[in-house]
Amino acid sequence: MLSATVTVDPAFVVGPVRRRTFGSFVEHLGRSVYTGIHDPGHPTADADGFRGDVVELTRELGVSTVRYPGGNFVSGYRWEDGVGPVEDRPRRLDLAWHSTEPNLVGVDEFMRWAARTGVEPMMAVNLGTRGVQEALDLLEYCNVPGGTAWSDLRRAHGAEEPYRVKMWCLGNEMDGPWQIGAKTAAEYGRLAAETARAMRMIDPDLELVVCGSSNSGMPTFGAWEHTVLTEAYEHVDHVSAHAYYWESDGDLASFLASAVDMDHFVDSVAATADAVRAAGKRSKFINISFDEWNVWYQKRAESRPPSGDDWPVAPVLLEDRYNVADAVVVGNLLISLLRHTDRVHAASQAQLVNVIAPIMTEPGGRSWKQTIFHPFALTSRHAAGEVLRLAIDSPTTGTARFGEVPVLDAVATHDAETGEVVVLATNRSVTDEVTLDVDLRGFAGLRVVEALTLSNPDHTWTATADDDSSVVPRTNGSARLTDARLGAVLPPVSWSIVRLGPAS
């Protein structure tokens, strides 16, 4: 059995727990929208056709923000197609996913869904096939109270009050050759700066996200961020980061260490942004919106779009079925995001429903939780207050991709108002238990409120509509607090949460 020690002290603060860390993503892709959040024939559907069961699951998941409407989809999207009487809306080819977009759901429907669900909308504008003017038109439609052509059109469509959308993405993955209207860093940086400058003429208090690299493996990674931020630094608040992870060729050890790559990604983007800041003698910091992240098996058949003359509406696409190991990795990625809360000010797990998602649905039928639902929901529900910087002493394990990595990864949060301390931990070992020893001498009078662990002897177990509850986080009876030291045994391939609260 392996042993790891962690020291937690309230004096060592990384930054606040940010609610926007627990964002999600709804793109017009596959069944994310149609038969995902929107299914008019469903028994729980509301007047707009949105599924009530999905609304409730989204609330239970603890989602704070939702990025919309893409993703690759946004780079060819004409937002005007999705407003006004539904029967008058055009059907369009969606080139990003070789599908047909019926435009049954658009800006107004999405805003009503967001309000009902209690999430903050995060809008993306098309800088692939469109540009500054179309972004301004959409902003005017959404945020201006009235008295102009676009704002009065919104009011005519039934939304008397403006939506006041705060956070806007300036395009999507504009460095990717798969992107409609892909650009060089110089081309995109100039367009993003022009768009941001103009949007701030309408509302100077917007929060704007400029596109970073599509992933850290892009040949221009680093150089792209430097060029784009050199152009747009004064006009934006955040730079985006996107990353997906998967188990490759049975290499479970490397997969379980995926958060090592996320740590490196965040540190590299922050360093590049700070280099531009220093070179320009600027005072403000550019922070990171990690607005696409998840486990995604991109080489599976379900990730291949249709082809030829087949342009279906809402085809089955990217519908990965997640196992226990996938959930452990998702829990560890959340640990990484929290650990970087000083620079990661927002994040969006991609995506919410059906498409590489924690929530699955049957058209007109059942909904269920995938394994990755649980670490996200528990972390969102219980991480509060401030993120603490930990001292971790852990044995290491070898991986083919990352070399030697710590077996144990962890983060802790402290809510000064309630006195609660939450420890989140991942055992990355494929074979061995870890005995965890947490030094909590910096806190007085704690008790174990709850200790849960997600694991299974068969790490390939997946949830289905018939059974999504056989493997869920269960009480870890080994968790004990003695003389300000927390002890617990963590199984191999596991994610755990331990909540500690005042003794009285």
Give the residue among 346, 364, 312, 349 at the shortest CA–CA distance from 29.
312
Residue 188 and residue 190: Cα distance in Å, rounded? 5
CATH code assigned at 471: 2.60.40.1180
Give the pLDDT of residue 504: 76
* Residue 59 sits in the same domain as residue 183: yes
* Residue 428 sits in the same domain as residue 351: no
**Residue for token pair 């050759």:** 177
Please give the backbone phi and psi of residue 194, each rounded to the nearest 5 degrees, phi first. -65, -40
The pLDDT tens digits of the residues spanning 33-62 come to: 999 999 999 999 999 999 999 999 999 999
**Lowest mean pLDDT: which of 251-260, 263-272, 300-309?**
300-309
The pLDDT tens digits of the residues spanning 293-315 come to: 999 999 888 889 999 999 999 99
CA dihedral 450→455→461→464, nearest 10 degrees, is 10
Contact at 8 Å (CB) between 372 and 358? yes
Band (pLDDT 50/70/90 cuts) for residue 198 is: very high
Domain with 395 in it = 2-10+387-502
**Averaged pLDDT, 189-205:** 98
Can you give the C-alpha Rg of the chain in angstroms? 23
**Average pLDDT, whole number, for the chain?**
98
The domain boundary residue, chosen from 352, 367, 382: 382
The pLDDT tens digits of the residues spanning 382-426 come to: 999 999 999 999 999 999 999 999 999 999 999 999 999 999 999
What pTM value is reported for the model?
0.98
DSSP assigned state of 215: S
**Averaged pLDDT, 433-460:** 97
DSSP-assigned beta bridge partners for residue 369: 359
Residue 145 and residue 503: Cα distance in Å, rounded? 51
Contact at 8 Å (CB) between 24 and 67? yes
- H or E element in which residue 162 lies: none
The domain tally of the chain equals 2
Tell me, what amino acid is at 133?
Q
* Residue 350 sits in the same domain as residue 440: no
Active-site residue, from 225, 247, 292, 420: 292
Percent of the chain with pLDDT over 70: 100
Q: Mind giving me the DSSP string for 242-260? A: EEEE---TT-HHHHHTHHH
* Residue 367 sits in the same domain as residue 496: no
* Residue 392 sits in the same domain as residue 378: no
The two three-digit tokens of residue 340, written as one number? 């970087």
Band (pLDDT 50/70/90 cuts) for residue 1 is: confident
Active-site residue, from 80, 173, 231, 420: 173
Backbone φ/ψ region at 366: left (φ over 0), alpha (ψ -120 to 50), beta: beta
CATH code assigned at 178: 3.20.20.80
* Residue 440 sits in the same domain as residue 321: no
The two three-digit tokens of residue 443, written as one number? 């806190």
Percent of the chain with pLDDT over 90: 98
Please give the backbone phi and psi of residue 486, each rounded to the nearest 5 degrees, phi first. -95, 125
Give the pLDDT of residue 58: 98
**Averaged pLDDT, 67-94:** 98
Residue 173 falls in the annotated catalytic set: yes
DSSP-assigned beta bridge partners for residue 60: none
**Averaged pLDDT, 104-125:** 98
The domain boundary residue, chosen from 356, 382, 408: 382
Residue 127 and residue 121: Cα distance in Å, rounded? 19
* Residue 398 sits in the same domain as residue 334: no
Give the pLDDT of residue 301: 85
The domain boundary residue, chosen from 340, 358, 382: 382
- The answer on pLDDT for 276 being more than 80 is yes
* Residue 71 sits in the same domain as residue 127: yes
Contact at 8 Å (CB) between 30 and 296? no
* Residue 372 sits in the same domain as residue 408: no
Give the pLDDT of residue 431: 97
* Residue 344 sits in the same domain as residue 411: no
Give the pLDDT of residue 302: 85
- The answer on pLDDT for 18 being more than 80 is yes
* Residue 294 sits in the same domain as residue 202: yes
Residue 230 and residue 234: Cα distance in Å, rounded? 9
What counts of helices (H) and strands (E) characterise the chain?
10, 26
Contact at 8 Å (CB) between 64 and 22? yes
Residue 370 and residue 297: Cα distance in Å, rounded? 15
**Averaged pLDDT, 22-41:** 98
* Residue 135 sits in the same domain as residue 280: yes
DSSP assigned state of 389: P
Contact at 8 Å (CB) between 321 and 462? yes
The pLDDT tens digits of the residues spanning 462-492 come to: 999 999 999 999 999 999 999 999 999 999 9
